[in-house]
Amino acid sequence: MTPKGLLPGVRVLDVGQGISGPYCAKILAQMGAEVIKVEPQAGDSARRMGPFPSDLPHTEKSGLFLALNANKYGVTLDLSSPEGAESFRKLAATADIVIENPPPISLEELGLGYESLQQINPGLILTSITPFGRRGPYKDFKATDLILYHMSGHAHGLLGAVKDPDKDPPIRAGGHQAEFVGGLAAATATMMALYGKQMNGQGSQINVSLFEAMVTQLISGLANSAWGRPAPPRDLAMVEEAAIGGMVGAIGGILPCNDGHVAISPREDAQWERWLVVMGNPTWSTDDRYSTRDARQKNSPSLWKLLSDWSINYSKHEIARLGQEQRVPCFPVNTVLDLMGDEHLAHREFFVEMDHPEAGTLKYPGAAYKLSNSDLPLTARPAPLLGQHNQEILEGLNR
């Protein structure tokens, strides 16, 4: 039997495409809401993004689409046609929540915006995710993950300081952090609106800005600015002079291993003492240049050379295990291959397996939380085929 999750009886329409909207709706689905994905005849744009088996594009085999849309039902509607719009209105009349992330599909432009839908369903929650929100000079600007990552200040911090900033530009993280963080912000706001609706019946119109979602990750930096502090420099020479934090010097860093890298952070004196035990208390450790945190910060180039000469003889998992045995914060730099073989994640059943009629049996990342009194429907059904539930859901509307 499918577990009920936390939101039994809550109905969601997912008009989103790509990542942020569908990720928001995926969160609601894995929490137990009934999520109906509404796609145009050509399908969600994520169906045309990879990865695909053997890199061959196929409407039903996009790994990104399969992961973002598991546990949802799927119907196709041409919302620009009168019949399609009418079916959508009927569906919206039965829903608690509608999620959209224009462009390309904007309910407002289709005459299906909040005011129109609220007339048929006063308690409806409409969550709209856009690159910059609905106000401000950039409200009509386009953005992708790359643009959002750079504009929001994240790229300046990711690479750390570099020797020549004019030749070594800021970079984004891999994957699609801005889209996922924006989708999560939308899910958080939607959950809040749903609680408000349960308490006093009120509907909500919510506008989420992907840009502001990324900016909100950096509120400590914004507060530093509000208190007149300068931005951390990207020029390595300036960082060493100012000894600003981050993963440099005595705070921690990356060590090379014989099979990759390990990240360590023995920042407190007691942690450093225990780290020296891991390394077998090398003779240089009593040297004045490394005996205090300040000294280690000041002499970090020569210190990291000594650490690296030692670490290269071991594997990343070996060092992580030895370090953690001494309660030193350290972790291997894992690849997805490492994650999928990780005994801890396996024990916690983090990855979940589903069989899809076209794409076959695959493992998907699950949820980051386990609940004492509820099981989550993480494997209720694989992502829908295009139009899979048209008959079941749309024909019922006309009866």
Partner 1 sequence: MNQLPLQGIRVLDLSWIIAGPTATRFLASMGAEVIKVGSARRPDPSTRGPAFQAYNQSKLYASLNLSKPEGLELVKRLLAISDVVIENFAAGVIERLGLGYDVVRAARPDIIMVASSGTGHFGPHTDYVAYGSLLQHYTGWNSISGHPNREPVTGGLWADPWVGMELAMVTVASLNNRALAGEGQYVDFSMAEALSACLPEAVLDYQMNDRVKEPMGNRDDWYAPHGVYHCFGSDRWVAIAVTNVSEWAALCGLIGRSDLTSNSKYATAEGRRQFQGELGTAITEWTVQHEDIEAMRLLQQAGVPAGPSQDILRVFQEPQLSEAGYFNRVKTRDGEERDLPGLPWRFEGTQAPILTEAPVLGEHNDYIYGELLGLSQGEVAHMVEEQIIY
- Residues between 311 and 370 with contacts to partner 1, criterion CB under 8 A: 324, 327-340, 343-345, 347-348, 350-351, 362-370
The least CB distance from residue 116 to partner 1, in Å, is 15
Nearest to 385 by CA among 45, 72, 33: 72
Nearer to partner 1, 71 or 87 (CB): 71
- The answer to whether 222 contacts partner 1 (rule: CB under 8 A) is yes
* 199 in contact with partner 1 (CB under 8 A): yes
Cα distances (angstroms) measured from residue 346 to each of 246, 267, 304, 361, 371: 31, 30, 34, 17, 17
Q: Is the dihedral of CA 235, 237, 241, 243 positive or negative?
A: positive
CB of 82 to partner 1, least distance (A): 28
Segment 232 to 291, residues that bind partner 1, using CB under 8 A: 232, 234-235, 246-248, 252-254, 256, 261-265
- Determine the Cα–Cα distance for residues 234 and 9; give it in Å rounded to an integer: 51
- Which segment (175-183, 284-292, 293-301, 386-394) binds partner 1 by CB under 8 A? 175-183
Count residues binding partner 1 (CB under 8 A).
153
By CB under 8 A, residue 17 contacts partner 1: no
CB of 316 to partner 1, least distance (A): 9
Q: Is 381 in the site for partner 1 (CB under 8 A)?
A: no
Selected from 3, 113, 133, 387, the binder of partner 1 by CB under 8 A is 133
Calpha distance 326→347 (Å, rounded): 23
d(CA 129, CA 211): 10
Tokens standing for residue 85: 């719009």
CB of 259 to partner 1, least distance (A): 12
Q: What are phi and psi of 298, to 5 degrees?
A: -65, -35
Q: How far is CA 293 from CA 171, 243, 283, 396, in A?
A: 30, 12, 18, 69
CB of 353 to partner 1, least distance (A): 10
193 alpha-carbon distance from chain centroid: 21
* The one among 194, 257, 278, 354 contacting partner 1 by CB under 8 A: 194
Stretch that binds partner 1, among 74-82, 211-219, 292-300, 390-398 (CB under 8 A): 211-219
Question: Interior CA angle at 70 toward 64 and 71, to 5°?
Answer: 165
The reply to whether 227 sits near partner 1 by the rule CB under 8 A is yes
Q: Which position among 47, 172, 296, 381 is part of the footprint of partner 1 (CB under 8 A)?
A: 172
Distance of CA 343 to the CA centre of its chain: 23
